[in-house]
Structure 1
Amino acid sequence: MSIEVKHSDAIASVLLLAVAVGVYVASSGYPSGPTGAPGSAFFPRLIAAAIALLSIVQLVQTVQNEAVERHHVKRDQVVRVVIPLVLLVAYVVLMPLFGFLAGTIVFLTVMMWYSGAHAFRITVPITVSISLVLFYVFVNFLHVPLPESSVFPISQMLPGMLGVI
């Protein structure tokens, strides 16, 4: 069974434009930089503006094009896209409960397994390493507070663990 989708470029353009507007609005609460320097909202807004501009260009080209693009989307193709989206939403929603480290390790492990990497003796060390590097870059270098697990606060044990390693 397949679904016929018409005007897919126009739909994608409108969705990307909505995402760009959402990023711009969400970044409105970010602080400005010291002494008039670009603050933390600068780069998200710059990327959102670029996405908005390119989506408007694509939308105009799509409207000017008289030929209607048609795509047939099969059920398994929809499932292949929906499962990672559901996993991503679950990761974001459950992050306050599990915290950044544990949530990211589990999320990356599940996504790698779903993508075909079934050797856990390889994927788990990779996901733990990536999560630790991301944690230290955001917390120590960029000074961005990350959610801590309310059940098991792993990050409080990290400096002691790193001293042992």
Structure 2
Amino acid sequence: MTKIRVTSDFVTGGALVLAGFAMYLGARGFSAPPTMSYGAGFFPKIVAGGMAISGLLIVLADLRGRLSKRVTFDARGAGRVALLVAMIAAYALALNPLGFHLATVCLLFTVTRFYGGGWISAGVLSVAATLLLHFVFYSVMRVSLPWGVMLPFAW
């Protein structure tokens, strides 16, 4: 009897394909502002397509590399991917009540620590990336971001 081994590459690639597909479906409903020829869903659709294609390439490379090998299930790798997906789901749920800024800082800090980053680097990265994302989405692309509890400090 041959055991089927699900590698972390296969799980990660599959998760990227599914996340990209779900992200694309979610972005389809974003409407274009009256003054712009492309809508708020334009950039998320590009990212979603890149995620799905990257995931598919990871899965195909994994399958090609192990066609004749014995396979076993890697529960630790699958658990790490499931935890990352849970963090992103928690981010989606916290986005409106907390607001973009707090939810993004929390997510990026947690993910950086989860993958082994230090306390200082996680803090600096999460704050800097949140400010950069705010500038790109809010100022450049004119996407309205939820302010949540930060509404009194909105600019």
Report the TM-score when normalising by structure 1: 0.60
1:110 aligns with 2:115: no
Counterpart in the other structure of 2:153: 157
Counterpart in the other structure of 1:31: 31
Paired residues of 2:4 and 2:71 also in contact (CA < 8 A): yes
Instruction: Report which of the two structures shows the higher radius of gyration computed on alpha carbons.
Output: 1
Q: Which amino acid aligns with 2:136?
A: V
1:107-165 CA distance string (max 9 Å, x none): 111111110013x223212211110111122111111011112xx31x65365xxxxxx
Report the TM-score when normalising by structure 2: 0.63
In structure 2, relative to structure 1, the CA distance for the partners of 1:144 and 1:109 (3 Å cut) is: same
Deviation at 1:72, TM superposition (A): 1.8
Greater strand content = 1
Matches within 5 A, 1:33-52: 37=37, 39-41=39-41, 44=45, 48=49
Q: What residue ranges of structure 1 are gaps of 5+ in the alignment?
A: 160-165
SS in 1 for 2:72: strand
Paired residues of 1:27 and 1:45 also in contact (CA < 8 A): no
Counterpart in the other structure of 2:127: 128
Share of identical aligned residues, percent?
Answer: 21
Counterpart Cα distance in 2 of 1:128 and 1:35: 31
Paired residues of 1:23 and 1:45 also in contact (CA < 8 A): no
Deviation at 1:18, TM superposition (A): 9.3
Q: What residue ranges of structure 2 are gaps of 5+ in the alignment?
A: none
Q: Which amino acid aligns with 1:139?
A: Y
1:50-102 CA distance string (max 9 Å, x none): x58xx6xx99xx9xxxx798632222121121111111111111111211101
Deviation at 1:35, TM superposition (A): 9.8
Q: CA RMSD in A?
A: 4.0
Counterpart in the other structure of 1:147: 146
Counterpart Cα distance in 2 of 1:46 and 1:122: 25
Q: Which amino acid aligns with 1:132?
A: L
Counterpart Cα distance in 1 of 2:128 and 2:48: 28
Counterpart Cα distance in 1 of 2:35 and 2:153: 37
Counterpart Cα distance in 1 of 2:27 and 2:114: 32
Q: Which amino acid aligns with 2:132?
A: V
Tell me the number of residue pairs that the alignment of Structure 1 and Structure 2 aligns.
139
